[in-house]
Amino acid sequence: MGCATVAVTGRSQLNLVSDAELVKTANESFAQLMNAASSKGAVLQSTESPEAANTITTVNRVSGRIIDAAGLRGKYNWQVTVLKSNVPNAFVMPNGKIVVYTGLFPIVKTEAGLAAVIGHEVAHVVARHSAERASQVLLAQTAAQAADAALAAKNNKNRPAIAAALGLGAQYGLLLPFSRQHESEADRIGQLYMAKAGYDPAEAIAVWERMAAQSGGSRFEFTSTHPSEQTRQVQLRQWLPEAQLF
């Protein structure tokens, strides 16, 4: 109970949240996102211009190839949305909703670059990282509540400080490292998917080189939910021979 295995990597993971719960939450979040974006006119429409139509067609084509490579064609109600924003971002919800921001295109530059990003995001869904993160938070909250109850029973005068320390310990010792592990795992699985879909997996490295150039330098990984761009490039180079087998 509460244990599962990640597809492709075989890593064991904590699993306390069902797919039904994930999909329900994702449906609500996506509806809110679309309502807000629509009210601002931020949803890109193919009727706006030939360039907009080409962008939407490209995103749909790349997404479809990645979905097929992951073997997920019939599992979710897939829907692709492009939002007008300068933010270089994209994500895939655990209900099959793919959202790509126009600010991502200057970085990905090519279909292969876009496949690297969408492959990474689809990999998060396949690996059920959302469920694992929710499970980790639940576990950390339960542990903190138990410790707080024990301190309260002893009327410990240091209870607030100890509780705060426990919170930081969970954040930096458990939640953030696991989040970085999830990102690295999605990088590896996504690189395999893009290769299986017919794209050059080496382009995933190039995407993060361009991302690093735009970010202006590395961050402290200790306080980040993501590995640094430099770490991702090193790891993707290590995994490249595996991806090139496809």
pLDDT of 5 reads 86
Closest CA to 151 of 160, 142, 143: 160
pLDDT band at 145 (very low <50, low <70, confident <90, very high): low
The predicted model gives 171-179 an average pLDDT of 46
Q: Report pLDDT digits (tens) over 197-237.
A: 999 999 999 999 998 888 765 454 343 557 888 888 999 99
pTM of the model: 0.80
CA distance readout (Å), 230 to 188, 190, 234: 15, 18, 6
Query: How high is the pLDDT of residue 157?
Result: 58
Q: Hey, what are 85's tokens?
A: 């924003």
**Whole-number Å distance between alpha carbons of 26 and 29:** 5
Question: Which pLDDT band, with edges at 50, 70 and 90, does 38 fall under?
Answer: very high
The reported pLDDT for the residue numbered 68 is 97
Q: How high does pLDDT run on average in the chain?
A: 82
DSSP 8-state assignment for residue 46: T
Q: How far apart (Å, rounded) are the C-alpha atoms in residues 162 and 237?
A: 42
Catalytic site residue from 121, 183, 185, 203: 121
| CA distance to 121, 158, 185, 229, per residue, from 115 (Å) | 10, 51, 16, 18
Residue 121 annotated to the active site: yes
Is residue 165 scored above 70 in pLDDT? Answer: no
Chain centroid, CA 14 distance in Å: 17
Among 6-20, 41-55, 207-221, the least confident range:
207-221
